[in-house]
Structure 1
Amino acid sequence: MLALKSNGSVVAWGQNSQGQGTVPGSLGIVEQIGAGGYHNMVLNTNGDLIGWGLNGNGQTNLPEAFQGVYQISCGEYYSALLLADRGDDCGTLNGYTVYEGGDSIAFTTVSNYTVTTLDWGEEACYNIAVNYDQGYSAWTDTICASLITPTFCNTDTLVAESNYNEIELYWPSREGYDCGTLIGYCVYQDGVPIDTLNGTTYTISDAAYDVDYCYYVTSLYEEGESVATDTVCISLITPQLCLVDSTSAEPGDNEVTVSWQEPYIFSRNRANSQTAP
């Protein structure tokens, strides 16, 4: 497969038995592409035709230098070019007028034009007319296009940990091509948004013991909100509530005295703190 990106670069993938999937590094800014069975050919903005891949029938060789290439087509074992007729029958070429929705929006002398004013979800339709000294050609057929809507990439994994006092959430950052413009994250607790933030960790300090809380996180973009991570449920670690040691009762004439030793962990920690330098 061969694809032309909006910045004029080319990407290829799939079978590469004849090198057709390895894009040369010096193509320049490409404006036309053609993909054959085992070879490819492109036309860059300098008017250069470049082919690579299988060449058993000369399909990547050019028999002469062609001018005014309008379109490239590649078959399994051949390459074909459609040449624009710029001779006396057409008139004296000046350039091209671009129409959007029936209105003229630009004049250009090259065979491409980039539109940067569309909004997400908006579709626009275009026509081209050729401008000659002698007048204008008829309009081309109408073509319509819209921006590629970002996929609003979500974070891969949400992890939750807890101790006696806090619940800690953390997740990896997720950004990529066509994801949108990331502005932060939204944390949900039991289906309700509780905070938005820029970082990838979040601490809950007001959780109660013996209560399960369920969390998920979404990524926030200027263009919208991603789907949520998987839901993770967790609770605080409940303290062990240690028993006292060595309970005893001492009877007297008028009263009974009940005595005990505090839990060992506290007496040990106190002793360690007193002996510390």
Structure 2
Amino acid sequence: MKTEEISNLIYAKILSVKDELSKNYIASKEGVGYFYIDNLLPEDLARQCFSVFPDKLEMRCLNSIREYKYVSAQMNKHNPLLEKVLYAFQDEKIIKLIGDICNIKSLYADESLYAGGLSLMAKDNFLHPHLDNSHDAERERWRVLNLLYYVTPEWNEDNGGHLELWPNGPKNEPTIIGSKFNRLVVMATHDTSWHSVNKVTVDSSRCCISNYYFSDNALKPTDKFHVTKYRGRPKDTFTNIVLDCDASLRMLLRKVFKKGVRKNPHIYKKDN
């Protein structure tokens, strides 16, 4: 299939439940605005995405006190279907439709896949509660939406690896959104949109195709520039102390080096 054909399928599915999705987003907007839609693509196509997903050994491993997962943005190293599906979400009509659902006027996809692309979480992988970096790589636009499309069949609740939203902050209880096969989750990113992924408990891979959307304007008047900020889970005092120091140090460096000490390697370096 061509990218345009896939984007037409996505658009039609989202449009068919637009009003319901808008109500869900508005109802959750005071905490972490979000909505999700199941059975996004035809099942055969979604299963194809999983069948050609790269092995974790073909991806970059991020392993620290903050997170443990595998990522890749270099899409030309992987099966072409994955790149087609990923960029289908960057079709202008889908961007506008999601913007209408979330009432965001200026909205842009990110062709460079800055922090987007593919992610895989295997046994014992996790992602601590965090706030995403507030801007794009050049600090010109605000990061406002995160799109997560899950493609692992038969991924159930006991497997872990599920998205957690913390609408009342990471000291309270999270809202868990399962990483269900063929499910698209769209969530807001701003200065209180704490989110995480709980630990994978099975010897299998939770696979995800992700995009970020950016805007000329922040979602909230309180939003200010910040680096990605992590903290521990409730009652994990030691991890909180370490991660607070880590975030403070990285913010200090960004005050001196406005665009970072080095280029973030997680972008799509396309062939000329």
After TM superposition, the score normalised by the length of structure 2 is 0.21
Higher relative contact order (CA 8 A, sep 6+): 2
Greater share of residues in helix? 2
Greater share of residues in strand? 1
After TM superposition, the score normalised by the length of structure 1 is 0.20
Higher-Rg structure is 1
